[in-house]
């Protein structure tokens, strides 16, 4: 097969698979009872289309900027994330473009890095403003939860309590999306507060979900570490040496935050027996991205673990979000923490510096400490004598 045709097939095929997996994920989140698989599947387009639109705008921001600078780059490679039903998949791990020629200057690194998140941020902003200004009436939620009707529009005061959830005959999975500064502002400024959904029900609003997740992805991309988009921005602003220092500190802080409250002294021994080695392994593998001598990496690993262990004792109930661990492992093992120097290290002009600080501000506005809270509420145990009575009925 002609190499160009083969490459085109790969790009189109990955996009088609990612469209399928994100649509399926959107249908799972939407979870409206239907009769056929097709009826179930098409509900997911309301999530997958805006989500992939924002992702595509982000990637082509990189691509067209690379073309502008004469840097060879591929079209986006979309990364599907197929998971079985019930795994709360978002359908994709994002997309990447490959740079196929050397980037000559700090300015080019900066421009290519910052263009993607800025373009995607503008697209996400448009999607969210539209979503908040076109919210359905509050009764919309009753088609997903008809049992809420008995409480009327005051249902939130009743149905999110642990006592209510335990009344279910089977375990209830309570899912709540977190908030970031920008999402909260858009909700307050553009949303009709009577129609703005409860955080527990956000997954039934596909446009809001797509926009919200896009903000989360934007903040991840703008983390000022390594060769992430935010790493390119930081490198352009402060140069190679200061990038390495600042990025290392930020990465260690990220490790501390994610593991906070995961290992708590006083937990059952069988729980600590697996939590302790897993935590040490994750910290060690992530810190490998600092490219320190093995002895120093192990020493820092143990220091961080001891800190987290003691923090779990003194700050019980305060937790981070271990959902970031796979991302930190990916950064530490494959992306790296430092940024390679460019042949041309000329400082940025004032306009680019302002753009860079604006991008880092967007990181702060979009950062969501705990984007997804999942709690399984088990029903109370039924005494044996009651089980016998129930069975006799």
Q: What are phi and psi of 95, to 5 degrees?
A: -155, 160
User: CA–CA separation, 294 vs 292, rounded Å?
Assistant: 6
Number of structural domains the chain divides into: 1
SS3 state of residue 70:
coil
Measured CA distances, 113 to 14, 174, 200, 286, 342 (Å): 23, 37, 35, 23, 14
User: CA–CA separation, 283 vs 308, rounded Å?
Assistant: 11
SS3 state of residue 262:
coil
Residue 216: closest CA among 352, 362, 342, 108: 362
Which of the four pLDDT bands, split at 50, 70 and 90, describes residue 173? low
Within-domain flag for 78: yes
Output 88 or 156, whichever has higher pLDDT. 156
Within-domain flag for 195: yes
pLDDT in tens, 192-227: 888 998 888 888 899 999 999 999 999 999 999 988
Please list, in sequence order, all residues whose beta carbon lies within 8 angstroms of the beta carbon of residue 125, skipping any fewer than 6 positions away.
186
Within-domain flag for 229: yes
Output 386 or 355, whichever has higher pLDDT. 355
User: CA–CA separation, 119 vs 72, rounded Å?
Assistant: 20
| Range(s) of the domain holding residue 55 | 3-260+320-377
pLDDT in tens, 293-317: 999 999 999 999 999 888 877 877 7
Within-domain flag for 344: yes
- How many residues appear in the chain? 393
Within-domain flag for 280: no
């Amino acid at each position: 097969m002609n190499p160009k045709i083969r490459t085109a097939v790969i790009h189109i095929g990955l996009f088609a698979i990612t469209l399928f997996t994100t649509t399926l994920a959107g249908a799972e989140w939407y979870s409206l009872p239907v009769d056929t698989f097709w009826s179930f599947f098409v509900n997911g387009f309301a999530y997958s289309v805006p989500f992939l639109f924002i992702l595509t705008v982000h990637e082509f921001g990189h691509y067209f900027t690379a073309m502008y600078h004469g840097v060879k780059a591929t079209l986006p490679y979309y990364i599907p994330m197929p998971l079985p039903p019930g795994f709360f998949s978002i359908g994709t791990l994002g997309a990447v473009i490959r740079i196929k020629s050397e980037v000559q200057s700090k300015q080019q690194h900066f421009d290519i890095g910052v263009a993607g998140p800025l373009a995607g941020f503008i697209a996400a902003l448009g999607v969210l403003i539209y979503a908040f200004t076109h919210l359905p009436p509050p009764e919309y939620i009753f088609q997903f939860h008809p049992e809420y009707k008995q409480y009327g529009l005051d249902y939130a005061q009743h149905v999110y309590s642990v006592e209510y959830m335990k009344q279910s005959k089977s375990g209830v999975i309570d899912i709540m999306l977190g908030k970031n500064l920008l999402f909260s502002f858009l909700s307050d400024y553009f949303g009709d507060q009577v129609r703005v959904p409860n955080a527990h029900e956000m997954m039934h609003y596909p446009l809001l979900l797509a926009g919200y997740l896009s903000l989360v992805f934007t903040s991840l991309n703008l983390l000022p570490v390594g060769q992430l988009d935010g790493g390119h921005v930081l490198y352009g602003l402060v140069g190679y040496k200061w990038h390495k220092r600042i990025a290392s500190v930020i990465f260690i802080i990220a490790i501390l935050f994610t593991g906070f409250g995961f290992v708590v002294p006083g937990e059952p021994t069988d729980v600590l027996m697996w939590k302790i080695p897993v935590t040490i392994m994750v910290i060690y593998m992530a810190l490998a991205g600092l490219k320190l001598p093995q002895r120093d990496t192990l020493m820092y690993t143990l220091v961080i673990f001891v800190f987290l262990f003691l923090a779990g004792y003194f700050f019980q109930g305060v937790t981070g979000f271990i959902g970031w661990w796979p991302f930190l492992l990916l950064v530490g093992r494959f992306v790296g923490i430092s940024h390679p120097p460019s042949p041309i290290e000329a400082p940025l002009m004032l306009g680019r510096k302002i753009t860079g600080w604006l991008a880092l501000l967007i990181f702060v506005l979009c950062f969501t400490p705990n984007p997804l809270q999942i709690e399984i509420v088990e029903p109370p145990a039924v005494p044996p004598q009651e089980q016998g009575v129930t069975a006799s009925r």
